[in-house]
Structure formats: structure tokens, C-alpha cells
Homo-oligomer: A and B are copies of this chain.
Amino acid sequence: MILGMAPVDDLRAALGDAAVLTGADDLDRYERPARGAAGRAAFVVRPASTDEVRSVLRWAWEHNVRLVPQGANSGLVGASVPDSSGTVGVLSTERLTSGLVVDPAGRTAVVPAGVRLSALEDALAPHGLTFPIDLGADPTIGGMAATNTGGSRVLAYGDVRRRVLGVEVVLADADATVLDLLTTLRKDNSRMALHQLFVGSGGSLGIITKVAVDVVVRPTHQVTWWVVPASDAAVLDLLDHFERAADGGARLTAFELLSGPALAAGLSRLDAGANPFAGGAVPDTVLLVELSGGEGTDDAFVVALERAPSGSVADARAVPAARSWAVRHAVTEGLRARGEVVGFDVSAPRSTVLVLRDEARRMVTEQFPGVELCEFGHMGDGSLHLNVVLPGGGGGGAIDVAALRAAMYALVARHGGSFSAEHGIGPSNAAQWRAATPPAVQDLTERLVRLFDPRGLLGHPALPYRHEGTHP
């Protein structure tokens, strides 16, 4: 449908001028995703309360207007911006920020969907608590729940799903029903886990307005070393060793892998002193290992290193945690400076993910000459970003990107891996969902989407389980 302006004026009259944006300049930042092509929004609506979200969804139902939910617009699969049709609106949750409640003794927080991760951390820090999801970006909590974000400390603290205790959701049905699944109870089996359906739904089932999470004690000391493994086999030995060694003292909270090109890309964004290796050498593979705990954490790390399996460590350098993470989080930007990046956000059982990595290296070298595989990521969870930098200077026309994607996804499937370990489903990988998801799971997903959103109002039009809606 083409949306007339009259209905949008109704919305503005109901919610106020600050809630509805239609000028091209105002819309721009809601139309550009963190990665991928920009879309075009018919308008942006920014409700500031659960009641206002209800008003928006009732209005959308009445006028049959499709909405893409958006938090901080930091998602990496293009799911938070509209398509290019100009007929889809953006429902931004960025003004849902009132009413953050921290219960320090209960070790929980109730967080309005529009609150940023950094703001939540600011509220928790005075209590010595943290929401232990480490990311390079600063998303909203609603977006984090809708995406089920992971990051670098999942091996110790789990992904967002594991920390969500409850949600408040508004459904895109005739009544804009508020689903009150909001609880801070740490144990509750009094109902089915409907709240878990919304975690990782990408906003396709309803608009998350509040999220209740459990939070953890903030470690007083975080110690990182850069460890060069003697071989691929040594990587798994070291992972096992640090998980066990850490158990006796501080705790293993990150076990990241950076290939040489990825490390070089991260280092390129920082000053020259950021490289701790002799003569500025960049090893083929570096593990960023972090232990967290109390005062004894520095010593615990040294002891753990001393006791590492014989011959597993080729080199090891203590690097301040802040610097380690600055380099780690600069990798994506550093790669982008080297050329066009085709991202692959994959995972496999961690026992086999390095085999997958090796086969990907070979495949790229043999079939796509000039292309560079720059892998990095969360080895402790079997999750790697097998990002590919295309030959520079726009001469990449020689590379068939579709063929590269097909070859990589075939490898991932052969190892029982995931084509979207962390980033979720959006227009950039929607086709792969059709190819990789068992038909019975596809069918059930489509039926669930119809049950929750009968008119098909929510989500990017390119999502594979979107539908045209039922209009009696």
C-alpha cells in the first residue's frame, strides 16, 4: 500500500510532534543500518511509553501499516531498517527509557526497552554489579533481547537469553494486547516460557517494551594475556586447561581468537605500541584470554600459564585489559578500511570449528584468488566471524560474491554449524534461512508469526516468514 499522510497526521495528533518524524533529514539515521544498504522510511514513530506503543499498534492495525521495530539501529543483518519501498514505517523504541529499576539484593533489573547497554551499566556500577554482555556496540536492551546478542563473554555468563527473566510485550493484534510476562523471579515454572519466544524473535512477534534481567557481581579484576598457540590442537587444549585452571581461582571470562590479518586490522586503528610482540611481529593466530576475579587474578593467570599443557604455548604477553578490548573491538573497523568486507557470522561445535576455519581458508584460496579470509571471534563458544575482504580498489568485480556465500554456507552446513551465530535474521541472510532450516521448523515458525501478528504488520518485508496478513 501507499500510505497517505492523513493517517500519519492522526498519529502525530495523538502522540505529539516529538513522536512522529517525516522530514528526510530526520529520517536519515533511521534508514541507514550499521552494515548493508540504506532503506527508505515512510515515517518514524517514537512512542515514549507502553501505552503509546499500544496507540501506534492500534493505528497500524486500523490502517494496515507495516512497521519495522528499531532500537539503537546497531544490528548487523539489516533487520532494523525499512526496505527501499518507502511504504514501511520505523517504530523506534529509543524513547522508552523511563522507569529503570535495579534491585541490588535481588540481583535483577527491570529495563525499559530503549535504555542503552551503557546506561544500564552506569546504573549497575554503583552497586558493584554488571549486565555481563560484552559488545563492541552500544545497543538498546530491547534490541539486545530481540536479537539475543552474545559477544565475548558468553562462555562465562551466557547470551542475553540466559539472563532474561521476563518481558513486557505489546502484540500487533486488534487490541494491541499487552502481554505481561514481566517478572524478576529467578525461579518461576508457573507458566510456559512464552517470554523466551520473544528473545531472538527479531521483533517479528511483538514489540518488547520492558525486559527483566538478572545481573551479576562485577569482578574487581580483569586480566588479559595474548597467547600464541603452538598449533590448532593446542587451541582446544588451552581452552580446556583455562576452563579447569580458572575454576580454582579466577574465572575464564573470554577466549577470543584473532587470525593474523584480523589482529593486524585491529592494531592498525591504534597506536604503534599496541602490539606487544617482539619486533612488531603479527602471529598467525593469537588467543585473547581473559580471567576475571578478585585481587589474586594476576597471580592466578601466571600460575595457569605455567601449568598449561606442555608445548601448547608458543608465546604469551600480558596486555592491559582495556587495550586488549580496544584492539579486539577495532577489528571490524580495521577490516573495513582494507576493502569491502563480506561478513560470515558462523558457529560450529567448538570441537570442530577450527576444522571449519581451515576448510574455509582452503576454499577461499583455491576458488576466490585475491580474497583474504580474516577470521576472528569467540573461540570459547565455537563462534567465529569468517569475514572476507575483497580485493581492493573496486576491482572486486572478478569475485562472484553469491558464489562465495554459497560455498561458505555449504561448508558451515556440512559441519552442523549455524549461518547466523549471533546476528539473527534479516534481509542480508534471509535466503539462507529458507535453505538451511528444516521444513517443519519453517512451517511452525510461519504459523507462530501468523498467530502473534495476524495482519503481518511487524518486521522487515524481506524476512522469510513475513506474510501479507489476514484481513477478514
Mark each residue of chain A from 206 to 222: 1 if its CB lies under 8 Å from any CB of chain B, else 0. 00000000000101100
Contact A189 B244 (CB under 8 A): no
Q: Per-residue CB proximity of A143-170 to B under 8 Å, as 1/0?
A: 0000110100011001101100000000
Kindly provide the distance from the CB of A211 to the nearest chain B CB, expressed in whole angstroms.
Answer: 15
Q: Which chain B residues lie closer than 8 Å to A424 at the CB level? A: 189
Interface of chain A residues 123 through 152 with chain B (CB within 8 A) = 128, 147-148, 150
Given that A105-B240, A161-B196, A448-B451 are known contacts, is A147 also in contact with B189, CB under 8 Å in the complex?
yes
Contact B248 A185 (CB under 8 A): no
* Contacting pair B243 A217 (CB below 8 A): yes
> Are B418 and A185 in contact, CB atoms less than 8 angstroms apart?
yes
Report the interface size class on chain A.
35 or more
Q: Are B105 and A193 in contact (CB-based, < 8 A)?
A: no
Bound complex: CA A188 to CA B236 (Å): 20
Contact between B185 and A421, CB atoms less than 8 A apart: yes
* A108 CB–B CB distance under 8 Å: yes
**Given known A-B contacts A103-B349, A108-B349, A350-B107, A192 and B200 have beta carbons under 8 A apart:** yes
A338 on interface, CB distance cutoff 8 Å: no
Interface centre among A191, A240, A419, A447 (most CB of B within 10 A): A191
CA distance A448 to B448 in the complex (A): 8
Residue A284, interface by CB 8 Å: no
Determine if A455 is an interface residue (Cβ-Cβ < 8 Å).
no
Whole-angstrom distance from the CB of A450 to the nearest CB of chain B?
10
**A198: shortest Cβ distance to chain B, in Å?**
9
A432 to B190, CA, bound (A): 9
Chain B residues near A250 (CB, 8 Å)? 248
Measured between alpha carbons, how far is A381 from B196 in the docked complex, in Å? 19
1/0 per residue, CB under 8 A from B, across A83-109: the answer is: 000000000000000000001111110
Question: Which residues of chain B are within 8 angstroms of A148 by Cβ–Cβ distance?
Answer: 189, 193
A194 at the interface (CB under 8 A from B): yes
A34 at interface (Cβ–Cβ under 8 A)?
no
A378 at the binding interface (Cβ < 8 Å): yes
Q: Residue on B with the closest CB to A221?
A: B248
Bound-state Cα–Cα, A205 to B240, Å: 37
* Cβ–Cβ contact A445 & B194, under 8 A: yes
> Which residue of chain B has its CB nearest to the CB of A443?
B177
The stretch from A42-50, A258-266, A290-298, A396-404 touching chain B is A290-298
A237 (CB) vs chain B CBs: closest residue: B105
**A186 to B382, Cβ gap below 8 A?**
yes
A444 at the interface (CB under 8 A from B): yes
Q: Check B192 against A197 for contact (C-beta < 8 Å).
A: yes
Rounded to whole angstroms, the CA-CA distance of A421 and B165 in the bound complex is: 13
Q: Tell me whether A325 is interfacial, beta carbon within 8 Å.
A: no
The answer to whether B185 and A349 touch across the interface, beta carbons within 8 angstroms, is: yes
**Which residues A279-305 have CB closer than 8 A to chain B?**
292-297
Q: A189-B200, A194-B441 are in contact. List 5 more A-B contacts (CB 8 A).
A: A158-B158, A185-B421, A188-B347, A192-B201, A447-B451
Closest 4 A-B residue pairs measured CB to CB? A248-B294, A196-B196, A105-B351, A106-B351
| 28 A–B pairs (Cβ distance < 8 Å), ordered by A | A104-B351, A106-B382, A107-B350, A108-B349, A128-B244, A148-B193, A150-B187, A159-B187, A161-B193, A177-B440, A183-B416, A185-B347, A186-B350, A187-B347, A187-B382, A189-B421, A190-B436, A191-B425, A191-B445, A192-B200, A192-B201, A192-B204, A192-B205, A193-B201, A194-B441, A194-B444, A248-B295, A249-B296
